[in-house]
Amino acid sequence: MIVLAVAALISVGIRPVSAQVLVFAASSASGALEDLAESYSADGLGDIRVAFASSSALARQIAAGAPADIFISANPQWMNYLAARNALVPETRLDLMGNRLVVVTPRAAPMDVELRTDFPLVDEMNGKPLAMGDPDHVPAGMYAKAALQTVGLWEALENHIAPMHHVRAALVLVERGEAAAGIVYATDAATSSRVSVAATFSADSHPPILYPAAIVAGRSRPEVERFFDYLTSAEAMTIFTRHGFGSVRRMDR
Amino acid sequence: MWSLTELETEAILLSLRVAATAVIASLPLGILVAWLLARCRFPGKELLNGLVHLPLILPPVVVGYLLLVTLGRNGTVGAWLFDAFGITLAFTWKGAAVASAVMAFPLMVRAIRLSLESIDPRLEQAAWTLGASPRWVFATVTLPLALPGILTGVILAFARSLGEFGATITFVSNIPSETRTLPLALFSLVNTPGGEQGALRLVMISIVIAMLALAASELLARRISARLRG
Amino acid sequence: MTGNAAIEADIVARFGPFRLNANFAAGAGLTAIFGPSGCGKTSLINVLAGLHKPESGRVAIDGKVLFDSARNINLPPHRRRLGYVFQDGRLFPHLTVHSNLTYGTRWVAKSDRHQDFDHVVELLNLGPLLTRRPRKLSGGEKQRVAIGRALLASPRLLLMDEPLASLDVVQKAEILPFIERLRDELRLPIAFVSHSVEEVVRLGDTLVILSEGNTVECGPIEEVMSRIDLPQVADLYEAGAAVRVMVEGHDDTFGLTRLAFTGGTLLVPRLERATGARLRVRIRARDVALSLARPTGTSVLNVLDGRIVEIGKVSGSLMDILVDVGCPIIARITRKSFHELELHCGQKVFAMIKAVAVDRSSGDSANVTKIIS
């Protein structure tokens, strides 16, 4: 809903600059970011508002002039997109946290899954599909496709997937048992009590899942920089880890 | 430039098939419900009216979720459909048709109901006294006179089905050549960096189809009205 | 009347606050149902047609029971085999005249069909209209098609609810002869609702009078029209006797026609009817004067001797006197004259008939009152 309001503001061309800090973040980071914002304001450090959507939608909105101060993407691709348009403050770009890719199955209908090329996963799925983000454009989907290709299961599974517009939507399918299994982030699996992790992709079977963060060009302000620093603090990392994210060595551009 | 890519052809044909199926399959129910709301008085009539209009008011994604809950393989009705008849709707183009039909239903019912309400019930009475049973009265007098409204309902429903996105993607996902209708294909392209060109092409195609449908309906509507007015 | 009455009705029905209590039996021919607006005429027809269910009672047509609350019988309209001609025609706009006409035929078993399409078309002169749409028809044409449509449903009884009410004088004159032909040629019982005395007397064989939801009287027209004790009859401006006559001959010298009836002969301006033709005429009460002695040197041609049989109620300055001249006729005179002439029942008087309303039959353009003086 916040995204819609912001989009409306974009169309009018207003770029409000306020003491409040507006963060655009990928949906998969929603739980962690909400906790961070709450803890930050509980400590009296400032007022943070976060808007969640898919990285692609957020990136396009920022490029069109949305009044976001900080952008946290679910993959480097969309950060690169903004960098190419000079929409970031380049020195501030860093990789905030990492994630792992897991295969989940419904807790009510668990399944054995082995991530090797001749594993008869399609037979095990028994007519139901494998839910995942759309491999054409959803970051989680693109990672999943890469991972499946690495372990040699992509060809067999290609025609048995249900591409969802949102990795959380894929999770819902697995929760409801409509999909036999799903490939989601480890952080997503952690949020649900109705799925169990059947297997975890090794980190080198896919490009590293990194969540780059940066300050949007022209939005640098004391309160923005303060919160951005907070994001890389040890306290923030604790919160990220609690939600299932992994830490990442800082990458300076 | 003027020829269609495979993705585009596939999306167009699928969209047409899904929309046509949705409309044809829901038409009998649409006429029945419209007739109930137009002509009958019964307890719970306002409830039925509200239910029919729900897809107009609810966010499409919510409707899609409700479809998943009821008609998915593990759904309340879907499980029975699969066990008894082997029918699966989730992740199939038939499921996409169901999603479209549900979202378009209120538009269809409204148009038909309006048309039925404008028919003089005294004409039906006359047919009754001439020996036609209530069923035959409906078939030979009510339906023919309601034809313009039915046609409007069909066109509206068809157009709505062509543009249906939220419920479809939630219920049947975005499977190429199975559920990737024009709006879903458009969505994919819009979300892919560099997909703007392809997206624009699909937008033009959607507009052309919509215009053709509208023109056809105008023509038909005029012919039918002329015949009915005598 | 042979065997079963054509229409038997004994019902109590409610229409909101209005209560209809109809009880009558009528024979073959045209039964006119007469009364002022709001008396329940259309309600009664709707009960006969099955469009409204009475609270209690019995309805039978030609002996076939359509409704009987005691035996829980209530046939729905489409099974009653009645033809209903509505006041507003109600032709189907999406069908041609031809399809409208044949609409009811398909619901009738072949063995039960007693109307021939070509015959009905000829009877009602519908030939030139067959391919047209109802929208393109005049009021009179629409009503004729409506009548034809009801006929071709091969009904046991034809119901007509004020079919001429929405027509103008010319259109009415156009249709009346067709209805007469229906009555005379088809031998089909007809229930004809009207609030027009002219229509009722011209067309009806039996007259049923309704008032405020109750059946006031039912009987042959000539009898009922002479009931000066019934306010529904006596208070009519058009009140007067209905008399059956036969054309006896013509007087070419003065252009007159002689009509024979039970009271003698009436002279009227020349009628284009053959000798021996049977007619019904109306002698309006206001056109009849009384004299104690046979008048001499008067221009009135028709003077009949008779006897006063009944003295009607006084209303204002006028009153009706029923005189038997061989058949009953009504004279409307002033109270003053009644008083001065000292009239009483049984007295011999002479009735001077100033005008005889002869309702002309088909071929003529309008109903004309001949004033003879």
Residue B171 contacts A, CB cutoff 8 Å? no
Q: Tens of pLDDT along B68-95?
A: 899 988 888 988 998 899 888 888 999 9
Asked if the interface predicted TM-score (ipTM) of this complex is over 0.95, the answer is: no
Distance to chain B for C287, nearest Cα, Å = 43
pLDDT value, residue A44: 85
Establish if B1 belongs to a structural domain: no
- Distance, in Å, from the CA atom of A18 to the CA atom of A224, rounded to the nearest integer, reads 10
- Distance, in Å, from the CA atom of B188 to the CA atom of B199, rounded to the nearest integer, reads 9
Q: Is the pLDDT of residue C364 over 60?
A: no
Give the pLDDT band of residue C202 (cuts 50, 70, 90): confident
Residue B192 contacts A, CB cutoff 8 Å? yes
Residue B128 contacts C, CB cutoff 8 Å? yes
Q: Please say which residue of C170, C201, C225 terminates a domain.
A: C225
State both tokens at C315.
């209303």
Q: How many residues does chain A have?
A: 253
Residues C271 and C211 in one domain: no
- Class level of CATH domain A2-98+210-242: alpha beta
Residue A63 contacts B, CB cutoff 8 Å? no
Please, which residues 56-115 of chain B have a Cβ atom closer than 8 Å to chain C? Answer: none
Judged by CB atoms closer than 8 Å, whether chains meet at B91 and A177 is answered as no
For the ranges A242-251, B18-27, B189-198, the lowest mean pLDDT is seen at A242-251
Long-range contacts of C166-175 (CB under 8 A, 24+ apart): C166/C87, C166/C88, C166/C89, C166/C139, C167/C139, C167/C140, C167/C143, C168/C139, C169/C366, C170/C140, C170/C365, C170/C366, C171/C138, C171/C139, C171/C140, C171/C143, C173/C364, C173/C365, C173/C366, C173/C367, C174/C140, C175/C140, C175/C143, C175/C144
Residue A77 contacts B, CB cutoff 8 Å? yes
Mutation to test the C interface, candidates B125, B130, B228, most C Cβ within 10 Å = B130
Distance to chain B for C136, nearest Cα, Å = 7
Residues C212 and C260 in one domain: no
Nearest by CB to C92, from B134, B141, B229: name it: B141
Q: Is the pLDDT of residue B105 over 90?
A: yes
Residues C364 and C286 in one domain: yes
Nearest by CB to B132, from C86, C107, C150: name it: C107
pLDDT value, residue C173: 82
Residues C172 and C267 in one domain: no
Sorted by where each begins, the domain ranges of chain A are 2-98+210-242, 101-205
Partners of C24 in the β-ladder: C9
Eight-class DSSP state of A88 = B
Q: Which chains touch B (3 or more CB pairs under 8 A)?
A: A, C
Q: Please say which residue of C159, C190, C225 terminates a domain.
A: C225
**Interface A:B, Cβ pairs < 8 A:** 59
Which residues of chain C does B228 touch, with a Cβ-Cβ cutoff of 8 Å? 93-94
Q: With touching defined as 3+ CB pairs under 8 A, do chains A and B touch?
A: yes
For position B188, which CATH number holds?
A: 1.10.3720.10
Residues C178 and C97 in one domain: yes
Eight-class DSSP state of C313 = E
Tally of domains in chain B? 1
Judged by CB atoms closer than 8 Å, whether chains meet at B65 and A56 is answered as no
Per the listing, tokens 């008048």 go with C295
pLDDT value, residue C359: 65
Distance to chain C for B112, nearest Cα, Å = 18
Give the pLDDT band of residue C235 (cuts 50, 70, 90): confident
B151 lies in which domain range?
6-229
pLDDT value, residue C361: 46
* C112-122 mean pLDDT: 87
Nearest by CB to B131, from C88, C94, C153: name it: C153
One-letter amino acid for residue C36 of the chain: P
Establish if C122 belongs to a structural domain: yes
Judged by CB atoms closer than 8 Å, whether chains meet at B90 and A134 is answered as no
State both tokens at C101.
């006409």
Nearest by CB to A162, from B69, B74, B91: name it: B91
CA neighbor of C264 nearest in space, from C309, C308, C326: C326
Judged by CB atoms closer than 8 Å, whether chains meet at B125 and C90 is answered as yes
Q: Is the pLDDT of residue C177 over 60?
A: yes
* pLDDT tens, chain A, 253 aa long: 677 766 666 655 545 556 789 999 988 888 899 999 999 988 888 889 999 888 888 998 998 888 899 999 988 888 999 999 999 999 999 999 999 999 999 999 888 888 888 888 888 888 899 999 999 888 889 999 999 999 999 999 999 999 998 888 899 999 999 999 999 999 889 889 999 999 999 988 998 888 999 999 988 989 999 999 999 999 899 999 888 888 875 433 3
Establish if C31 belongs to a structural domain: yes
Nearest by CB to C153, from B125, B130, B136: name it: B130
Q: Tens of pLDDT along C248-305?
A: 999 889 989 999 999 889 999 888 888 888 888 888 888 999 999 998 998 898 999 9
Q: Is the pLDDT of residue C363 over 50?
A: no
pTM score of the predicted model: 0.76
What topology is assigned to A101-205 in CATH? D-Maltodextrin-Binding Protein; domain 2 (3.40.190)
Of all residues in chain B, the one with the smallest CA distance to C86 is B126
Give the three-state DSSP class for B109.
helix
C343 lies in which domain range?
240-371
Longest dimension (CA), chain B: 69
Residues C273 and C347 in one domain: yes
Residue A105 contacts B, CB cutoff 8 Å? no
- Distance, in Å, from the CA atom of C328 to the CA atom of C50, rounded to the nearest integer, reads 38
pLDDT value, residue C355: 80
Tell me how crowded residue B218 is: count the other CB atoms within 10 A of its CB.
11
Establish if C153 belongs to a structural domain: yes
Judged by CB atoms closer than 8 Å, whether chains meet at B129 and C51 is answered as yes
- Distance, in Å, from the CA atom of B146 to the CA atom of B138, rounded to the nearest integer, reads 10
Q: With touching defined as 3+ CB pairs under 8 A, do chains A and C touch?
A: no
Judged by CB atoms closer than 8 Å, whether chains meet at B130 and C149 is answered as yes
Q: Is the pLDDT of residue B209 over 50?
A: yes
Mutation to test the A interface, candidates B92, B93, B171, B174, most A Cβ within 10 Å = B174
- Distance, in Å, from the CA atom of A10 to the CA atom of A116, rounded to the nearest integer, reads 48
Residue environment code for C212-247, b if the CB has 16+ CB neighbours within 10 A, otherwise e = ebebbbbebbbebbbbbebebbbebeebbbbbbbeb
Residues C93 and C169 in one domain: yes
For position C334, which CATH number holds?
A: 2.40.50.100
Tally of domains in chain C? 2
Of all residues in chain A, the one with the smallest CA distance to B166 is A165
Q: Is the pLDDT of residue C369 over 90?
A: no
pLDDT value, residue C293: 92
Establish if B190 belongs to a structural domain: yes
Q: Is A217 exposed, middle or buried (0-12, 13-18, 19+ CB in 10 A)?
A: middle
Of all residues in chain A, the one with the smallest CA distance to B90 is A178
Residues C168 and C265 in one domain: no
Establish if B120 belongs to a structural domain: yes
- Determine contact, residues C101/C131, Cβ cutoff 8 Å: no
